[in-house]
């Protein structure tokens, strides 16, 4: 496949914080870690090649987090891309800690967030983090205290813009009382639209909405006939149809598809040039999420132990559903 090029005209741009103009297809770097988002990528040179190709193709927004690897992902970005081009917006996150047993635990204590931001500054080799996002609210820390720490970091010049992730509408509104929020990163894709209210609030306030799991994450992207058929009508893949649908869903939508594969990367960037017809959009808008996606949506606001309990409880139901699915 030829190398597609993303320009300001391809899918338009979004102004982050009223200052940083970002092309409306980003890249999520999380997949460039070892299995389970732990440790270095198995193909380190390949991962560096992917990151350099991302920028070569005109993508100027890259999402990462200190928890990816942990730390490995930020190190890799610096190794591949430093010194950074002037227009590149690096978005990292703090406040979610990867424990040795593999679980993800929120830590929104102000002292942790401040130390984590300093460490990300060091790894990425920047004077200030272009966009620092609270990875996940910590149920054990008042949300205002976590957001207050990000506000302090901005006042101290260590963070240029502040974003949120995994928040509901009430939390977005609460944070906006404390500091200027420029973006929200929540799960959103064809199968999972439970953050529609947050998306519409972002649209109203011109905040960037970063749908994570834009391809439904971790390999679920396959096997949706409506996407396959819509894609085929444009000589495109189901993944490309999914991204084109997302981009058309709102002018503040900034998808950050993740991939460790150069061919998928090219495919995803090419999707930004794909325009769906009104009828195709209506068909995908009307798509009804599967039961498993609905169960997945329930897990979002729960703690790690709550999610484990839900998975355990849902096991028999999932297995029964898998047996019955041929009636779908």
Ligand X SMILES: NC(=O)c1ccc[n+]([C@@H]2O[C@H](COP(=O)([O-])OP(=O)(O)OC[C@H]3O[C@@H](n4cnc5c(N)ncnc54)[C@H](OP(=O)(O)O)[C@@H]3O)[C@@H](O)[C@H]2O)c1
Sheet holding 89-94, edge to edge: 27-28, 61-63, 89-94, 129-134, 159-165, 181-187, 208-212
Q: How many residues does the chain have?
A: 328
Residue 257 in contact with ligand X, rule: CB under 6 A? yes
Residue 192 in contact with ligand X, rule: CB under 6 A? no
Binding test (CB under 6 A) with ligand X, winner from 69, 95, 163, 258: 258
By C-beta, is 56 or 156 nearer to ligand X?
A: 56
Binding test (CB under 6 A) with ligand X, winner from 132, 209, 212, 245: 212
Q: Which burial class, exposed, middle or buried, applies to 240 when counting CB atoms under 10 A from its CB (0-12, 13-18, 19+)? A: buried
Residue 63 in contact with ligand X, rule: CB under 6 A? yes
Residue 74 in contact with ligand X, rule: CB under 6 A? no
Mark whether 68 is an active-site residue. yes
Q: Classify strands 61-63 and 89-94 as parallel, antiparallel or unpaired.
A: parallel
Tokens of 226: 């409506």
Stretch that binds ligand X, among 121-129, 215-223, 246-254, 290-298 (CB under 6 A): 215-223
Query: How far apart (Å, rounded) are the C-alpha atoms in residues 268 and 6?
Result: 10
Binding test (CB under 6 A) with ligand X, winner from 13, 92, 154, 166: 166
By C-beta, is 207 or 239 nearer to ligand X?
A: 239
Stretch that binds ligand X, among 23-31, 40-48, 110-118, 284-292 (CB under 6 A): 23-31
Footprint of ligand X on 29-48 (CB under 6 A) = 29-31
By C-beta, is 155 or 261 nearer to ligand X?
A: 261
Residue 264 in contact with ligand X, rule: CB under 6 A? yes
Q: Which of 27, 68, 84, 132 is catalytic?
A: 68
Residue 143 in contact with ligand X, rule: CB under 6 A? no
Residue 185 in contact with ligand X, rule: CB under 6 A? yes
Residue 231 in contact with ligand X, rule: CB under 6 A? no
Stretch that binds ligand X, among 113-121, 153-161, 196-204, 251-259 (CB under 6 A): 251-259
Query: How far apart (Å, rounded) are the C-alpha atoms in residues 202 and 209?
Result: 6
What does the binding site for ligand X look like in residue numbers (CB under 6 A)? 28-31, 63, 135, 165-166, 185, 212-219, 221, 239, 256-261, 264, 267-268
């Amino acid at each position: 496949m030829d190398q597609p090029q993303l320009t300001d005209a391809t899918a338009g741009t979004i102004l982050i914080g009223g200052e940083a103009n970002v092309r409306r297809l980003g890249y999520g770097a999380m997949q460039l870690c070892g299995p389970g988002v732990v440790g270095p990528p198995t193909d380190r040179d390949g991962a560096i090649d992917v990151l350099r190709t991302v920028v070569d193709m005109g993508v100027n927004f890259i999402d990462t987090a200190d928890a990816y690897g942990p730390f490995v992902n930020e190190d890799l970005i610096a190794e591949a891309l430093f010194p950074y081009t002037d227009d590149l917006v690096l978005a990292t996150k703090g406040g979610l800690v990867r424990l040795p047993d593999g679980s993800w635990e929120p830590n929104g204590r102000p002292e942790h967030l401040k130390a984590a931001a300093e460490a990300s500054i060091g790894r990425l080799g920047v004077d200030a983090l272009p966009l620092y996002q609270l990875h996940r609210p910590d149920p054990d820390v008042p949300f205002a205290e976590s957001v207050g720490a990000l506000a302090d970091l901005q006042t101290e010049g260590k963070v240029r813009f502040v974003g949120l992730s995994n928040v509901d509408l009430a939390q977005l509104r609460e944070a906006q009382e404390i500091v200027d929020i420029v973006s929200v990163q929540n799960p959103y894709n064809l199968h999972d639209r439970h953050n529609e209210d947050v998306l519409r609030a972002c649209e109203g306030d011109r905040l960037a909405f970063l749908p994570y799991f834009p391809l439904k994450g971790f390999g679920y992207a396959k096997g949706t006939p409506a996407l396959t058929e819509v894609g085929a009508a444009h000589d495109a893949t189901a993944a490309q149809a999914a991204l084109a649908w997302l981009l058309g869903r709102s002018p503040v939508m900034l998808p950050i598809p993740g991939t460790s594969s150069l061919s998928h990367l090219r495919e995803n960037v090419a999707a930004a040039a794909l325009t769906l017809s009104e009828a195709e959009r209506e068909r995908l808008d009307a798509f009804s999420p599967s039961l498993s996606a609905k169960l997945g949506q329930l897990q979002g606001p729960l703690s790690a132990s709550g999610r484990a309990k839900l998975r355990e409880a849902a096991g028999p139901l999932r297995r029964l559903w898998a047996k019955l699915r041929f009636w779908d």
